[in-house]
Structure 1
Amino acid sequence: MAPEGKRPRWEDLNRDLLVSVFARLGVEDLIGGVSLACTAWCDAARDPRCWKDLDFRRWQPISRRLRCRREPPVDFLDLLDFAIGRARGAVDSVRFPDFADELDLLYVAERCPILHYFSLANDDIPMDQFCKAIDKLEFLEGMAVNESLISVEVLQHIKRSCAYFSELEVFAECVDERMGTVICEALPHLRKLKLNDCFLSQQVISLLLDKLKDLEYFDISGYNTPGITGVVLEKASRLKEFRWDSKFDEGEFDYCSGCEEDIFFQNPCECMLDKQITEWLALHS
């Protein structure tokens, strides 16, 4: 608190308030920004609470801001080590850059035993090493991973090892009925599911809504999700939140009930062509 009659200064802000604000910043701002402003801000930025949620997904701007000069995996590991040290191991979530691998995940699992969430987009993660890391994450509640890790073995291992697991995001080009069935059977008590920017048939959407009885949040928004029918919306009405915006709903795509295929208007299926010809003939007869 500034003395009476004097203009308040930023460095006079309550430390807990500063920590609350700084906890919303990225690692690049904590290291290369606020910590250089003044002694009070530097002290607040050192608080472990500022380092509980670590997001490295935008690695290029982070590395430029911090003037990283070496190979990305090397600089990333040093920065990760520094951030975990500042958090004193009490990290809640880590969102890895796209080049991070199973060794990075295992490193975090060994040093952050109370980790609740991670995002790892790499599509070349060995399942055995992934499961080895999962073994160390007893309190894991959610993850975002590539479709290559969506298998019965991996998901059942998560179910056995992580009693609190309830949130899944999958990075995939297509979620077919097989993958949908695997998710439903291995993780039947999911509460939050995200399948963004991938192909999903109406059958798979219905399957997930029917089988995941505890689901509360379902996000299938993306550029190539087929139009949502009234039946799907009725099934999704029990959810707290359902996100499904797509180009289908903006008129770029449509769904053909004749051959049960999703189609481009610019490149219609045979059913659509037959329909268009029939309509033209009827109009000009």
Structure 2
Amino acid sequence: MSTAAETRNWLELPLDVTASILYRLGAIEILNSAQNVCSQWRNICKDPSMWRSIDMRNLGDLWDMDYDLKKMCLHAVDRSCGHLLDINVEYFGTDELLSYISKRSLHLKCLRLVSCHNISDEGLSEAALKLPFLEELEISYCSISKDALETIGRSCSLLKTFKFNLQGCIRFHVESDDEALAIAQTMPELRRLQLFGNKLTNKGLQAILNGCPHLEYLDLRQCFNVSLGGNLEKRCMERIKYLRRPYDSTHDYEFDAEIHDTGSSDEDYPSGISDIDLMSDDYDDYFEFSDASDLSEYDEYVHFD
């Protein structure tokens, strides 16, 4: 077979096939490289249908990047022309960016925020008021209180999946059911709930079981203040189709699941489990932008068009 016959001309692919291939790239790859390959790819990448889902997944090394993720995200939202349904923001989220997204994406169904320490209770609450069609929300490793969770629950009545993940800690000095009660009181339509590393107790768990009657999936891994047993365990087994217990394996968990030690006495450990056991996956076998004025630099620095 000749070399010419073996060489593929990607420009001869049907446009819908090319669009399908490019759609599988993340927003960063599209804006940084794919759209610059040729005019045909650039035209495809400008189509609003390419931006119904925006994935800004990154490694968090913002200081080493030669591009601005926030400005890139703003441009991606603009390209969606109001048709954005799903967005993932990691490490660089701010109140201004969240406001920009919520004002221009009224039909947003899925929102994922990871390690966005510059998003406040107020910023998230204001955005939630503008997102009545939100069905899936993840807030992982962000500083958000029960007040914001209550606003989210009351504003997003269609919410069916909620992930609220924190860093696990084996020896808590403080127990808190504030977040669990906020969820129980304002999110009755939940089907899936993940509370990785939360400080809730059995009281908070009981409230969730009472307030979320449609719950089918519940992830309580590294929620070490919860002690499943007796009637509570029986109720969970009867109600929840898929239950992840506090000491279940974290091998399939997306983030760092290292357990931190706050320094209490060894009595806080379940009998027979050592520090090494708790740092291992094997221990599971032991247990059955707002307005333009807020973004004055935006137009000056965005040159993706």
Which residue is equivalent to 1:265? 273
**Matches of 2:193 and 2:150, distance apart in 1:** 16
Which residue is equivalent to 2:218? 218
Q: Which runs of 5+ in 2 are unaligned?
A: 169-174, 252-258, 260-265, 276-305
Give the letter for the 2:274 counterpart. Q
Give the letter for the 1:154 counterpart. A
Give the letter for the 2:156 counterpart. C
1:24 and 1:50 in contact (8 A); partners too: no
**Matches of 2:121 and 2:6, distance apart in 1:** 61
**1:96 CA drift (Å):** 1.9
Residue number among 113, 117, 131 corresponding to 1:137 in the alignment: 131
**Matches of 1:26 and 1:198, distance apart in 2:** 31
Identity, % of aligned positions: 22
- How many pairs were matched up? 249
Which residue is equivalent to 2:14? 14
Give the letter for the 2:273 counterpart. F
> 1:64 and 1:15, CA in 2 relative to 1: closer, same or farther beyond 3 A?
farther
**Matches of 1:37 and 1:52, distance apart in 2:** 22
1:35 and 1:45 in contact (8 A); partners too: yes
Q: Aligned to 1:157, what secondary structure does the other structure show?
A: helix
Give the letter for the 2:79 counterpart. R
Q: Aligned to 2:190, what secondary structure does the other structure show?
A: coil
**1:85 CA drift (Å):** 2.1
Which residue is equivalent to 1:276? none
Task: Write out per-residue CA displacement over residues 138-165 of structure 1, whole angstroms, 9 at most, x where no aligned residue.
Answer: 22223223574342x4334333332322
**1:83 CA drift (Å):** 0.8
Over alpha carbons, which structure has the higher Rg? 1
**Matches of 1:59 and 1:36, distance apart in 2:** 23
Which residue is equivalent to 2:144? 149
RMSD: 3.9
2:28 and 2:56 in contact (8 A); partners too: no
**1:106 CA drift (Å):** 0.8
**1:214 CA drift (Å):** 0.9
Which residue is equivalent to 1:158? 152
202-211 vs 108-117, which deviates more? 202-211
Task: Write out per-residue CA displacement over residues 46-80 of structure 1, whole angstroms, 9 at most, x where no aligned residue.
Answer: 32222222222415568867x32xxxxxx233211
Q: Aligned to 2:90, what secondary structure does the other structure show?
A: coil
Task: Write out per-residue CA displacement over residues 119-174 of structure 1, whole angstroms, 9 at most, x where no aligned residue.
Answer: 234345443333222222222223223574342x4334333332322222113246
**Matches of 1:60 and 1:123, distance apart in 2:** 12
1:176-187 to 2 correspondences below 5 Å: 176-187=176-187
Task: Write out per-residue CA displacement over residues 7-50 of structure 1, whole angstroms, 9 at most, x where no aligned residue.
Answer: 76332222223223322211122123332334443333332222
Higher relative contact order (CA 8 A, sep 6+): 2
Give the letter for the 2:48 counterpart. P
Which residue is equivalent to 2:166? 172
Which residue is equivalent to 2:49? 49
Task: Write out per-residue CA displacement over residues 73-130 of structure 1, whole angstroms, 9 at most, x where no aligned residue.
Answer: xx23321121112222321122223242211111111122222222234345443333
1:55 and 1:94 in contact (8 A); partners too: yes
Which residue is equivalent to 2:236? 235
Give the letter for the 1:161 counterpart. S
2:137 and 2:162 in contact (8 A); partners too: yes
Q: Aligned to 2:107, what secondary structure does the other structure show?
A: coil
Q: Aligned to 2:183, what secondary structure does the other structure show?
A: helix
Which residue is equivalent to 1:127? 121
Q: Aligned to 1:235, what secondary structure does the other structure show?
A: helix
Q: Aligned to 1:94, what secondary structure does the other structure show?
A: strand
Residue number among 81, 84, 95 corresponding to 1:88 in the alignment: 81
Give the letter for the 2:30 counterpart. L
2:177 and 2:199 in contact (8 A); partners too: no
1:54-65 to 2 correspondences below 5 Å: 54-58=54-58, 60=60
> 1:80 and 1:111, CA in 2 relative to 1: closer, same or farther beyond 3 A?
same
- TM-score normalised by the chain length of structure 2: 0.64
Which residue is equivalent to 2:290? none
1:205 and 1:232 in contact (8 A); partners too: no
**Matches of 1:46 and 1:118, distance apart in 2:** 22
